[in-house]
Homo-oligomer: A and B are copies of this chain.
Amino acid sequence: METLISVDLARAPHDQDGVIHNRWHPDLPMVAKVKPGDSFRVECLDWTGGQIGNNDHARDVRDVDLTRVHYLSGPIAVDGAKPGDLLVVDILDVGVIQGSAWGFTGLFARENGGGFLVDHYPEARKACWDFNGIYTRSRHIPGVEFAGIMHPGLIGCLPSPELLKTWNTREAALVAKDPERVPPLALLPLAQSALMGRMAPEAAKKAAAEAARTIPPREHGGNCDIKNLTKGSKVYFPVYVPGAGLSMGDIHFSQGDGEITFCGAIEMAGYLDLRVGLIKDGMKKYAVTSPIFKPSPLEPRYRDYLIFEGISVDEGGGQHYLDAHVAYRRACLNAIEYLKNFGYSGEQAYAILGTAPVEGHISGIVDIPNACATLWLPTEIFDFDIKPEASGPRPQVTGVGALAKP
């Protein structure tokens, strides 16, 4: 497999020969070129570009600079790709960069945007994970080991100028509803810390002011954080600019549905092996306006789950109308309370749900006023039996191994 884009983990993101960018813009210069049918390797920094260390404190998570993320590798031009095509990407492999077989999970502090359960867990915490072949364990979370479902959290093609404008317009309109909110309702273009790849300095300065941030998933895919885009899957991406301009990063060793801890999955530097193809005029042929994909035959397979329900009644008893967000949050909280019976701290349980191959389903979405979401926790990832028994839970883990604090 030829390495099309390589990175040096010892160097900073802006010192990688221009193959890294952290904003979306139609004019980002292509840094490599491939033809349909080609296979190639792309190396990626972790999403923070090395801000987080493999240690036992969480000061780096607390102090992370979110204006700089995500650091992406690309864009890659695909010969013959035209707007309206579908770019077919086979994710042939996802792997670890030699000498960097570890990852991290952070709970962001409220000041940093927090995670899905920020009202319950508002402080910065961190877990580090060691990778042992297909498995991972964390010294900060005892009693749990699972096979990774490695995937890029973020991958997609460059937007067209029109699409970029649409994004900026609608996100600005949202922010305008509550401009003082902390955290903000959306992250608007910000020139500060923008890294515009190989764009010339003047052009880069101008483009950075309007380039889209990388946080949300959008029509092109982007930061979808779909754990199932793992090695062996096949993705069909809409193409918006000539050459497509495929970029990617934010590699995860594993993630639960929702990436609820925000920082979130097990974050890592790594590589992707890809093969590309084209369906000419595919967007129209198939009426496709967002990526579609086929899963891999190699996803980790579990049979025995413990499944938690949540409805759209919030923690204070307030009734929401078919709100799947609230319902899933309640399902997550129910699972956390359950796991506490076995000796885990709330933070540890929270981190397990964010990183393990947990499924999150929208089970019922029409039975007014309650949405019903379910969280599927595979039981075999634990070193002990977590299933309910008449005799009650036997606490199995101790405070040893708590998440790292700042």
A interface residues, Cβ below 8 angstroms from B? 1, 39, 86, 88, 90-93, 101, 113, 115-116, 132-135, 147, 166, 170-171, 173-174, 183-187, 215-219, 221, 223-228, 231-232, 236, 257-262, 264, 273, 275, 278-280, 282, 285-311, 313, 317-325, 328, 330, 334, 337-338, 340-341, 359-374, 376, 380, 385, 387-390, 392-393
Knowing A166-B317, A307-B293, the reply to whether A135 touches B328 (Cβ < 8 A) is no
**A1–B305 CB distance below 8 A:** no
**B292–A307 CB distance below 8 A:** yes
Q: Which of B132, B309, B340, B369 contacts A287 (CB 8 A)?
A: B340
**A297–B292 CB distance below 8 A:** no
Residue in B closest to A284 when the chains form the complex, CB atoms = B392
26 A–B contacts, CB within 8 A, in A order:
A92-B132, A116-B365, A132-B275, A134-B296, A170-B317, A171-B369, A173-B318, A185-B369, A216-B367, A217-B311, A225-B364, A225-B366, A228-B307, A258-B362, A260-B365, A279-B388, A286-B388, A287-B340, A289-B334, A294-B306, A301-B301, A303-B380, A304-B304, A325-B365, A361-B362, A362-B362
**B186–A285 CB distance below 8 A:** no
A285 to B303 alpha-carbon distance, docked (Å): 25
Which one of A1, A101, A362 has the greatest number of beta carbons of chain B within 10 Å? A362
Residue in B closest to A93 when the chains form the complex, CB atoms = B133
B-chain residues with CB within 8 Å of residue A217 when the two chains form the complex: 309, 311, 364, 367, 370, 372
A338 to B359 alpha-carbon distance, docked (Å): 25
**B325–A231 CB distance below 8 A:** no
**B369–A216 CB distance below 8 A:** yes
A313 to B166 alpha-carbon distance, docked (Å): 11
**B225–A363 CB distance below 8 A:** yes
